[in-house]
Amino acid sequence: MASDVIVVGAGIAGLTSAVVLAERGLRVAVWSREAPAETTSAVAGALWWPYRIDPEEAVAAWSLRSLTVLAALAARPEETGVRLVAGTYAGAGPAELGPWAAGVPGLRAAMRGELPPGYGRAVRVHVPLLDMPAHLAYLQRRLAAAGGSVTAGRPLSSLAEAARRAPTVVNCTGLGARHLVPDPGVYPVQGQLVVVENPGVHEWFANADDRGTDSVYVFPQPYGVVLGGTARSHVWDRAPVPSTAQAIIARCARVHPGLGSSRVLAHRVGLRPARAAVRLEAETLPGGGRLVHNYGHGGAGVTVSWGCAEAVAGLVGG
pLDDT of 243-257, one tens digit each?
Answer: 999 999 999 999 999
Mean pLDDT value across residues 137-157: 97
As a whole-number percent, the residues of the chain with pLDDT over 90 amount to 94
CA atoms of 37 and 157, how far apart (whole Å): 22
Residue 287 — pLDDT band, cuts 50, 70, 90? confident
Q: CB under 8 Å to 51, separation ≥6 — which residues?
A: 208, 210, 298, 299, 300, 303
- HSE, CB side, 13 Å, CA atoms: give it for residue 193: 22
Least confident of 191-195, 207-211, 243-247, 278-282: 207-211
| Burial environment of residue 78 by CB neighbours within 10 A (0 to 12, 13 to 18, 19 or more) | exposed
Mean pLDDT value across residues 216-223: 97
pLDDT at 95: 94
Report the run of H or E that residue 19 belongs to, with start and end: helix 12-22
Helix axes 12-22, 132-145, angle to 10 degrees: 30
Query: What residue ranges in the chain does DSSP mark as E strands?
Result: 5-8, 28-31, 82-90, 108-109, 122-130, 149-151, 168-171, 187-196, 204-207, 214-221, 224-230, 232-233, 264-274, 279-284, 290-295
